[in-house]
Structure 1
């Protein structure tokens, strides 16, 4: 089987190995035409088709063939997905056969930190040192077929020895195998094999999701990270849009598409995080962006998607070809309706940006009350700032007893010159000066988005196993009603005063006029602040202590936030995995329709993701009793 470092480039005929010899091809080259209005990528033209499957033997078709309506209705519904060691778990020879038909793209998963443990063949003290040094760097995890950026949710099963209190390393909650995808055929074969063999299927692009949606014990992973095709089309024409677009493979990351857009003179609506996979779970969950106050969510930009469905079929999804799925998949969450291999999204003209960073703190001359008066003066201006098209990324943290710090890092003023930025911020800055709060803005104007973004947003720090997060989308009405505004400020102040940091975004994400509706959380359309907080525990905390801390964050801390806006919600990709009534919080009034479409397009429940649509029909029996993916997945 392929080592983890192999990037499969196999684009020829895939051969099925049976009894030691190749017996028939199970993939074929098809036309690059697509009803999406742009040619398929070369990787998408190699597909498994009914014609190519016809040469298989019956027992082979049973493993790798498509799902039919008859098998859907007649097949017994297995209560639990298999785990290694189960009687029905595929044999080594079956996995070897699967690797053969994939063209060597199957990876037997090895935990990222296995090099730190003498019990693993991969033990290497030098590599262990490198892994330990770079453990919190997102590039380290997105380039691995199974690792996720929040290993808390794979069960903390194999960590660098410096942070592993148990000194053990097992595969745990990581997928057992992963397919390093380079063709649509490989995606189809993985989907078919997982469905037919009753395996847990997980889809990983970069592993950014805060709740570990791309991992799962015993899983077969579809690793789309290396689908890096990227093409800008100047004159795209569809029934609802004419203009420039970008077509990007599922593995394209923010820094990659932004760099190319800069060279071509475009602006793309993508994540603020450098390593976010733009066409993966990010866009499928809605995706907020530094451009959202101007152009809406990333999901709003999508005009077409190429998708492998749960039945194994490869389809083009547009507003014309499949309006229901087009609505659902744009915002309804990743790992839910299918595996996306590429998307086509609108792009926008080059735009100038002013970026500013600054901070203020309590001190001998700035009392606690004065500090919070400065914060209040800022919050008062959220509507004006968002309506001006800006996006602010800021922190409020406690630095000691009755000691606080405000960090603007950065204020991202899209389509604002320095003069226009200073005019917009002057009322707040005047308030800070009147309060006697010293601050020194570091402000720069950039001619285009890419250099502004690169300068303004730091590389994410990830990899923590001693912290969990939660969030809330605070609606505009909390600014339009004085009592709700005051309640919001009290809730935020209480959170920070209790020792929980606030990371927040002042933004809006309204659906632009003329754009087709999608299933993104309706709470996004009314928000003025996406706020995140977290709770931590000691590295040697017991599972009971961790559970207690998690419950306190969910119920006591975030409970105060929910009380200020009970009808609002939270961003599903940056949320609390224990969010009460996640259906309402993450999907709002869209949930009923999303659930019905889930049953139509995935009747066997092949695609499961924690807090995803339909996930209430399943449960993970985690080994440690925590809400992680280290355990058997079973129907409720």
Structure 2
């Protein structure tokens, strides 16, 4: 009797979910024109059922996995823009059908350059997050080449309808969906084993708007509407040609209208104008139900609020973004370095300590300092590198006046350096000349970050405390990258940007490394100890502060508070409203605590199935 009741209940459940599924398809937003290819695709997908109670997304080998015929119909519906099993670039270095010694020899010496990867549909610039399954052997010998955390299929989207079809397909089949632009995210959010990826890199349209008005936002002025595939070097050049500039990252190949701007986005202009998300006037976006909408201050304002700082791959897939444009400006930059080699460690650290005293006045002056602390445990030598001190809207004389008090103290300590202070006629020229090209992340390191607020610098005792913690990290062999910056709050911007950005004076990063040949267990232990050790020290001296979601560690504890602070509760509610089926997922994104990538080696990477947390 019990068996009969159970079978009856199972039959009822199957009938129920088929009914729900067919109703969802019949009510789905139509994509016009409704071509025969699209009708044929949805006719095929009607036979697939993905109950939302399934523990994991659908993967090859599962009964629900779409057949090759269904995938080909998706290809036809998307104007033949479906890439089938695109291979990792380094597959040419390993024995098998893709082996090509000549091509391997070409890519190996330039593997670390971002330009080697930005035009590839699957490559990520965080190989540790990918799973380290296919790199050139002399970079890291994985002994073979497997797909690891790379997607199985990619829609090379160039129109909103391509994005709609991909989102609808993932929602209706249960296949994992990822969104990729250029792949810069430190945490590897643009990857996912055997997933369907929507590649937005070729949304490249840029339109200049001489006068954009939004009375509710209180803005009236010039703007740019740009496709999400537009990169920093492209929008900066376009803006410069109009006598304008925009708030974007320092990295030239970053796609600033995708994950960068949706996650907040710090910039060399942030001390003057705020974060990248503070500049957004409107989004064109495909939502989780497949609709193509405009989100702004009056149309879907809650979605607009969430996407300005709430993170990419979470609430929808943006196809274009409209942002404020600002005037071009004279900009001055300074690049220099000094080491402990000739002056000794104590004098070196005394020089670093003097700099800490100027973090507040420099940030308040609207500058952006990008500097590194580089330890060498083998030699015992430490290096300070200013790369650069960047002063937008400041002349050479103004910048010299600002820096001279610190430089005088360095000279008094006997620290010699060449400040190389240079004035440029425009922000664009200064940016092109001053910042290093971003590179592919190390194969044996990960980075944690912390925002240190003004309170950490307001007294001598607090400045000394922070300095001692930075020195301790260097002495523990942690490479540090720092940004002396504040994120002004333009017109009291109401958006999802992490509140910790507003009082920030120092955005700090430190990296932990492990032996290249370490086992998975050893790597995990090193990474966990890093979080409970060096990173926890930084948290302890900055209670209530936070971290930056795009430049952080996947093991960041309590990531909701760290990345969004008091705004996380509202973001969770909006995630449930706009994506009730969790079509979108990215590690440490809003609502991601409901899911986990069950990686094959137990490490925090994308090489595994995405499943609900038990």
TM-score (ref. length: structure 2)? 0.92
Name the SS of the counterpart of 2:66 in structure 1.
Answer: coil
Name the SS of the counterpart of 1:626 in structure 2.
Answer: coil
Q: Say whether 1:597 aligns with 2:574.
A: yes
Number of the residue aligned with 1:383 = 360
**Equivalent residues in 2 for 1:92-111 (5 A)?**
92-108=68-84, 109-111=86-88
Deviation at 1:76, TM superposition (A): 3.9
Number of the residue aligned with 1:540 = 517
Number of the residue aligned with 2:336 = 358
Number of the residue aligned with 1:572 = 549
**Equivalent residues in 2 for 1:12-411 (5 A)?**
49=31, 52=34, 60-61=42-43, 63=45, 76-108=52-84, 109-119=86-96, 121-239=97-215, 240-364=218-342, 366-400=343-377, 401-411=379-389
Cα separation, 2, equivalents of 1:363 and 1:465 = 28
RMSD: 2.0
Name the SS of the counterpart of 1:461 in structure 2.
Answer: coil
Number of the residue aligned with 1:529 = 506
Name the SS of the counterpart of 1:341 in structure 2.
Answer: strand
Cα separation, 2, equivalents of 1:308 and 1:219 = 19
Cα separation, 1, equivalents of 2:46 and 2:426 = 48
Name the SS of the counterpart of 2:457 in structure 1.
Answer: helix
Deviation at 1:300, TM superposition (A): 0.2
Q: Do 2:452 and 2:504's aligned partners in 1 also have CA atoms closer than 8 Å? A: yes
Q: Do 2:45 and 2:70's aligned partners in 1 also have CA atoms closer than 8 Å? A: no
Give the one of 581, 586, 599 matched to 2:558.
581
Q: Do 2:132 and 2:142's aligned partners in 1 also have CA atoms closer than 8 Å? A: no
Q: Do 2:134 and 2:142's aligned partners in 1 also have CA atoms closer than 8 Å? A: no
Return 243-252 or 475-484, whichever deviates more. Answer: 475-484
Unaligned runs of 5+ in 2: 1-24
- After the TM superposition, list the runs of 4 or more consecutive aligned residues in structure 1 that deviate by more than 6 angstroms: 53-56
Q: Do 1:48 and 1:185's aligned partners in 2 also have CA atoms closer than 8 Å? A: no
Number of the residue aligned with 2:14 = none
Closer, same or farther: CA 420–56 of 1 in aligned 2, 3 Å = closer
Number of the residue aligned with 1:465 = 443
CA shift digits 1:360-416 (9 cap, x unpaired): 22244x232221121111111001000101000001112345421111110001111
Cα separation, 2, equivalents of 1:91 and 1:187 = 21
Q: Do 2:82 and 2:154's aligned partners in 1 also have CA atoms closer than 8 Å? A: yes
Q: Do 2:37 and 2:77's aligned partners in 1 also have CA atoms closer than 8 Å? A: no
Unaligned runs of 5+ in 1: 1-25, 27-46, 66-70
Number of the residue aligned with 1:18 = none
Closer, same or farther: CA 335–227 of 1 in aligned 2, 3 Å = same
CA shift digits 1:124-160 (9 cap, x unpaired): 1111112212211112221111110001111111111
Number of the residue aligned with 1:506 = 484
Cα separation, 2, equivalents of 1:59 and 1:277 = 31
Name the SS of the counterpart of 2:138 in structure 1.
Answer: helix
Cα separation, 2, equivalents of 1:58 and 1:94 = 9
Q: Do 1:53 and 1:61's aligned partners in 2 also have CA atoms closer than 8 Å? A: no
Closer, same or farther: CA 182–424 of 1 in aligned 2, 3 Å = same
CA shift digits 1:441-499 (9 cap, x unpaired): 11110010111001110111214221111111111100114333222111100000111
CA shift digits 1:215-257 (9 cap, x unpaired): 0012100000011101111122222321100110010000001
- Aligned residue pairs, count: 581
